[in-house]
C-alpha cells in the first residue's frame, strides 16, 4: 500500500465540498413572519431581472409577481443578514432565485453599535459618595 501525500488538487476539492456542504441556511422562524398584504409599508414588483432586494429589519413588504403576491414582515434575528426569499415565499410565486439583504434597523443603532471599540460612553459620570 502506497502512502503518497494528497495532491493539492485533491485537497482543494475536499475543502470545496466541505465548504458547500457546511453552508447553513437560517431557520425560517428567524426570518420573520407572514403578514397581511394591507399591512405592508412598501411594495416590490418582482421581475426576472430582480436579483436581490434590500430591506431594513422590521419592514413589512408586499412582493408582487405575475404569478402571485405575498407580504412578509422582516422581524429577523440580529444574526440574519441575508437569505434566499424562496425560503419564505409561497410555492410558485418566485420564478428565480432572489436574495434578501437585511440591514439593521437604525432605531436600534446604539444597541447594534454596543461592541464597537470606538464607541463613546455618553452616560453621565457616576457620583461616588
Whether 127 maps to a domain, the answer reads no
* Residue with the three cell numbers 461616588: 128
* Count of domains forming the chain: 1
Whether 41 maps to a domain, the answer reads yes
Task: With CA atoms as reference, report the closest residue to 52 among 121, 1, 87, 100.
Answer: 100
Instruction: Say if strands 99-103 and 52-56 run parallel, antiparallel, or are unpaired.
Output: parallel
Whether 23 maps to a domain, the answer reads no
Please write the tens of the pLDDT for every residue from 78-121.
888 999 999 999 888 887 889 999 998 877 765 555 566 666 66
Whether 57 maps to a domain, the answer reads yes
> Could you count the other beta carbons within 10 Å of the beta carbon of residue 86?
15
Whether 58 maps to a domain, the answer reads yes
Whether 24 maps to a domain, the answer reads no
What are the CA-CA distances from residue 91 to residues 56, 62, 64 (Å)?
24, 16, 14
Q: Which of 2 and 39 is assigned the larger pLDDT?
A: 39
Whether 14 maps to a domain, the answer reads no
Residue 43 has pLDDT above 90, yes or no: yes
Which pTM was predicted?
0.65
User: Average per-residue pLDDT in the chain?
Assistant: 78
Rounded Cα gap, residues 32 and 57, in angstroms? 9
pLDDT at 127: 67
Strand residue runs (E) in 1-129: 33-35, 42-45, 52-56, 60-65, 68-73, 82-84, 99-103
pLDDT band at 15; cut points 50, 70, 90: low
Assign residue 76 the CATH number of its domain: 2.60.40.2280
* Residue with the three cell numbers 412598501: 42
* Domain ranges, residue 93: 29-110
Whether 13 maps to a domain, the answer reads no
pLDDT at 20: 45
pLDDT at 95: 79
Residue 66 has pLDDT above 90, yes or no: no
Q: How many residues does the chain have?
A: 129
pLDDT at 121: 62
Amino acid at each position: 500500500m502506497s502512502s503518497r501525500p494528497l495532491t493539492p488538487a485533491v485537497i482543494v476539492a475536499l475543502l470545496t465540498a466541505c465548504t458547500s456542504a457546511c453552508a447553513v441556511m437560517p431557520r425560517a422562524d428567524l426570518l420573520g413572519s407572514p403578514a397581511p398584504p394591507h399591512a405592508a409599508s412598501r411594495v416590490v414588483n418582482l421581475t426576472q431581472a430582480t436579483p436581490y432586494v434590500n430591506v431594513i429589519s422590521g419592514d413589512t413588504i408586499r412582493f408582487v409577481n405575475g404569478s402571485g403576491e405575498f407580504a412578509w414582515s422582516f422581524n429577523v434575528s440580529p444574526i440574519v443578514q441575508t437569505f434566499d426569499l424562496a425560503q419564505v415565499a409561497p410555492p410558485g410565486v418566485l420564478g428565480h432565485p432572489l436574495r434578501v439583504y437585511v440591514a439593521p434597523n437604525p432605531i436600534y443603532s446604539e444597541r447594534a453599535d454596543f461592541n464597537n471599540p470606538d464607541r463613546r460612553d455618553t452616560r453621565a459620570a457616576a457620583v461616588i459618595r
